[in-house]
Structure 1
Amino acid sequence: MAESAVSLLIQNLIPLLAQEVRLLEGIHDKVVDIKDELESIQSFLKDADARAEMVDMSNVVKTWVKQVREKAYHIEDVIDEYKLHLAKHHQGRRKRFRFLLKVFQFTLKLKPRHVIASKIQDINKSLKVIRKRGERYGFNTIEQGGSTSDTRRDTWHDPRVESLFIGKAELVGIESYRDELIGQLVQGPSNRLVISVVGIGGLGKTTLVKKVYDNEKVVAHFDCTAWITVSQSYKMEELLRKMIKQFYEARKEYAPRRIDTMEETDLIKELRQYVLEQRYVVVFDDIWNTMFWGHIKLALPDNNKGSRIVLTTRSESVAPSNKESPSNHVYKLPPLPLGEAWELFCKMVFQHEGGHCPVELVELSHDIIKRCEGLPLAIVTIGGLLSTKDKVSSEWHKFCDSLSSELESNPHLLNITKILSLSYFDLPYYLKPCFLYFGMFLEDYFVNSARLIRLWIAESFIKEKQGLTLEDVAQDYLNQLIYRSMVQVATIDFSGKTRSYRVHDMMRELLKVMDFEGASIDYIPKEVGNLFHLKYLSLRDTKVQMLHKSIGKLHNLETLDLKRSLVYELPVEIIALRKLRYLAAYIENNDAEFSIDFRQLIKVPSGIGHLESLQKLHKVEANNAALIAELGRLRQLKKLEISKLKRENGMALCTALEKLSLLRSLRIGSTREEEVLELHLMSSPLPFLQSLCLFGRLERLPEWIPRLKSLVRIDLIWSRLMDDPLKVLQALPNLMNLRLYEGCRCEQLHFEGGGFQKLKSLWLGNLRTLSRLIIEESAMPLLEQLVIGPSPLLKEVPSGIYHLKNLKSLEALNLSNEFVLSMQPDEGHDFWKVKHVPSVIFRYRIQGVHFIFYKLGDPELLEMLRDNS
């Protein structure tokens, strides 16, 4: 975020000004002005950064945030350069004044004083302009929340659902904890108790509490019960309604209908009234928000009838503290001991062997269990996969050696990383780099707390707080990671003080997959380069602008996803990533029809040909023939997208493409619409190519295209062919999707009988010269979607549409009034041609990328057409 960049810059400026007053004599006051301006701007940035995450945010706000961030980086560069001069010419511990004077005299030769003063004056002026612009935009100061829990994530199967239905035979190691919790629920004082079960994700909190909740003693003891799954995103009103309904259901009563329309305050009143005379038990499973208990406790009063509330959470800071009330109890669920972990593993893996591990697999099994570190989720998931494998040591050796990559790629093991990654995603932005720093240390390494804190401070991860030292703040950060079950306490000295820490090995593996998609970050710390095992790094939909050169140390990196980030150039160190298989970077256009963008593409360094494991590469800027020639070395490429191709580089590209025999998808764009794509010089076709998209002029259709027997999709955008391309495309045996956008300048397009036998989707867009469309019977027999327009000269609805019996959707975009009116049910003479089509839609573009839609026979459409006639 821009705010974090400015904040860090201010922190660097303050000590610089304090220590180097004499050296900066003459420009000191101007540097002070810079600091003051930055502090003023900072008051707007939290609000602006929040707006920057909004989908409907205006471009002017984006620009303002970008200007501030860039200016901060520019000032930081000046500071770094200045510090570098100091470091280079330091010659021992001399008296401060003599040292500064000597260095000052030297640097004046490199940077004359008037040049420095001029640069700083320019920075000052631009900062004042930026600040005033922020005032005009009306930014406010807001408190910035740290949670990224609302970050968009892919839909996935949550294994915690399965934990609600685990059978008795599958339980290992929780019997004593279960009995203890049951005793706390059905025995003890008559006042309300709140019991929080805390532990790292995958530890079995939900499984344990569900077995307690379903126990016969518990069910018989309470008048009404409710199980509420909370998770990271919840609506309080919905939780309250669900609780009321479950209470009524437990008593075999019907909940009043009025609760469906009640607001939060009324629902709380309803709950309080209902439980007044009831002994209730409620489970709130998977709580993340520290504010949750403060809200929900209002609805569940202490009625002195022995009521109980149970919460499960990963974060101790979320649990109601016993400091708040002696009726609050925090129960920290420990990992499974080695013996019970072994029992659970054998139950899962060796079912057909009666739960007994073969002798030759004992050592390997112990190694796997050790990696799981008592985490039931990991034991059960990995064990379930191993139960399907042959019980031979060679097979198991192979699995153990590849366990890290298996956790990333094997669909049966994704639940482990998904569950654990939720904890990482929920970290505030200031804790993420602190947690990632553990990746510097080897597995099973115990990090001394004092050393860790000093390292964090040295890396500028720690932000000053009034009344606290940096060490105090760092200790608070560390405590937060502990409370969130992200960091484990490793050793405690004789005085009871924690001395060293570590992270769970399975958490170290979240360090092989770093997914920042949608996160509010604008930089990646250089420490990422220390994560040697990292295989997957996604900065998709972030504000990150550049990659640190330390990325070249990630020798195991396989995926680098920069889609819709602000990264436009890769450091030269990228060529060291010989295992890289997927590389993507671009900003998508907002155009609703075509995802075409030539404003920001990825600039790759010389030497890209060394990435011989690469399978996907897009969007690459084809800026020179040498770079294009290197593409021919990427023999494993299956997907390639390049843009800004010049006509004179067409031959080099064709030569390179002939070597890429595994290509499945190819997307080529010219420098501009008018630039000719010179693609005729490829002699042999690409045998496995399934998707071909060409953006740019074609003087004629390349002869190798009709020979692409595997082709499923072809897009010809801005091709402006003079001849009808359908004559050669219609014979492609597997073509299912055809898009022509300014694809030809023909007056007539002719779909001949028997042509396009597998085509399902056809888009004929922006064919300005098209006046006649002929569709013969038996042409396109499987066509389901047809989009036509704009085509201003097309006046008559093709009668051949009537032959398209499988057509499900017909869309007409900005077509002539005459064409559209002729299709209308009441007065159109061509209605019979389209009446069999389930969906007929008329689209009209308004305000650039926005559309207004009308259905067939829409009165508003008819009125508009008549008014325009």
Structure 2
Amino acid sequence: MADLTHGAVDSLLGLLSTAVKDEARLLGGVHRDVQFIKDEMDSMNGFLMHLTKMEGDHDDQLRAWMKQVRDIAYIAEDCIELYRRDLMPAHGGGGLLARLRLLPVYLQTIPARHRLAKEISELKERVREVGERRLRYDVKVPEAARKEAVKQPGQDKEEEKRLEDFRCALEVAGASMRSSLPDEKAEKLFSDVINKLPTILASDKDARKNIRDVLDNCREDGVEFDIIEMFLCALSRYPYATPHDLEDLVQKKLKAGRTKEEMMIFCYSKLSTQQKGCLQYLTAFLQESSISRTSIVRRWVAEGLIGREQGTTHEEAGESCFHELQLRCFVRPKAIGDSGTVKSCIMDKSVREFIINISKSENFVSDMPSHLVRQLRIREIVQGPRPEKPQAGRWSCNICSGDASGEPQPGPDSDIVVASDGGSTAAQDLKEPMDKLVDFLKELPKLYRLNVLDLGGCKGVRKRHLKSICKVAVSLKYLCLRKTDMSRLPARHIEALRLLETLDIRETEVPPADTKNIFLPQLKHLLAGSRDRKKCSLNTVRMPLQIGRMREMETLSHVQVSDDGAELAHVSKLMQLRKLGLVLHGNDHKANSQSLLHVIIELAKCLRSLSIWVSISSSGVSLDMSYGSTFPASSMVLENLEIKGQVSLPSWILNLEQLANLTLIDTQLKDGGIRELGKLQGLRSLRLGINSYSEKYLTFHQGQDEFKALKFLVVEGNNIAQIVFTGAGVAPSLEKIVLDMAVMDDIPFYGLKDLQMLKVIKLRLTGDCSYEMLMKLEGTIAALERRPSFTYSFAFPDKVFEGAKTVVFDAEQ
């Protein structure tokens, strides 16, 4: 609990430091109060830092005090940020004219400034009381051994190889445990897993004995393999100072008959402070069937749970945290892309229950923390059913008036709706989910700072709802409208969210022009566009005209550029940009190509992902991205590239040393173009989409180090009859092949025996195929020495496959 409280206080101290430096913009009394709060929290933080370096459980008195510190830290941070955001006028520079410009703002905010100044003064007294309470009740640091700082094993190639070997050995051991192999064989397999642990454990006799004792305890108590797997993964990721912990676990805790609980606590204790906070936040997703990886990472960042590591963005640090939780089996992949990327995850039931309990315990409450309860309530509201419209009674009227008996009759604005059966229903029960949400937001505590609002998938979102949200939830940093039926995005409303960092309007019907005049100074991620994968089309919104002033932008995907590409000159100023997705229209491809190349050159050292969708030109002219010999391709950090449309692939692409993922659509490459791509030494994933390749046979040639690092090959929507691999050593790293075909007249692969690393083959058929041909392919793959897994599926949009019970079926071997 100490580390989480320390994290909350640390966040507050950063805000206080900024506020204190801005003395000129604070009211005189407020500055003194803020300075006092900062000094007190500094002292408390030193005490908490000492606690985080100690082992052992904290007593109830200490935990109660830490909770008070954390609560006051959250309240103080909210209050001071509200003061700085809304009531500290921007510097207008020197001179009388600049001060006169600020005078109206200053006069308008005097009442609010004094109200918040009073609240900050009250906060000062609460901070003083909390500090004195520690002395009054003699709250002391417990005498316990110091603990080592949480360190992570280095991610060099040798460590990656060890982890891969460890995971393979663990999978085999898990399969043996589920299939009830004899104890001797299972013991040998688990010994192999222990051998793959870091040397500090694998070579320590006492540590190995303790690990075996833990595994024996698990067998005796019937602990499921998922918990054993989590335990072993914790040892693999955190081997430092663990031999002593293992001895303590075996000698003291497991003997209490709580093997499963103690093992999960052990695994949790090996997480860093940041990882613990992020894991607890997953309780906000208890009502979701799956959790989007990118969504949870951006929400962690918006909630302030991710600290920025040197040389990385907050989002990259969040991705690292997610990866670590996945490696430790706290979350498990649910949806995995063709190239092996985790798209979404789930939590096992045992993990969900553990996180809920640990969150209650560390927050010293009987229920989950209030901010998580509120996030759950928001999702419960927006996922609720929409009410059916009641049938009006024969005597209902348009206005509330009296009838012959003198009794008032309900009208459309009344709180009572009369049903056709003569009964009545409370208007609250007939409210739309979005109306209920707006009411809920209005009832939140005055100083509560709502950072995240996820409306994904909600129906009935109207302009009036967005107006209310932007008015009552001005502190939002993350707003998701994805897959809603939102049809308008008025700039005058959305611009009230001055702290907004993520705006997700993907898969909505927002008109292109609605984003043209939006200006959000703190925006980091603008996510737009609706893809039709069947037609391979993308509809999206216009790029904001003031995009050059949004200097915090990290993700701009996908936005439409005007015919002349004038906005691209402003995009080149965004030095924080990591991911860029552009949709180019019009016939002036020459102007667009020059502007685009200028953006790529200017952002060479920061841009990691680039997607270019080019509309078909009526003139038949393709987008020429070629450049002279001075193009700085070798210095670029570009890792992901997607090109769709009439684009001639430039030679400088072959010099992108860090390019790992390449997707091509409508490029009409020939065999020579594929061989050129084979020179990309770091290319791990190649996706050839619709009309990306124009020839009948897709051939991968032996020798010359072509596609040396390629692991994933996806071919879809092309008229390819066969993928050919010629000779031993071809594509030496290829592990997975995914092929979409319309018609299969013959075996679609040749030379599979030469692929030494092949593990997975997936075949998706959208047209006719005989059963005999399918069985012939299955037999061919079964005869391979490495026996890769084979999955096939049929998907007919217009008819049901004859003889099949469902439209799609899979068979694995």
TM over 0.5: no
Higher relative contact order (CA 8 A, sep 6+): 1
Bucket of the pairwise TM-score, normalised by the shorter protein: 0.3 to 0.5
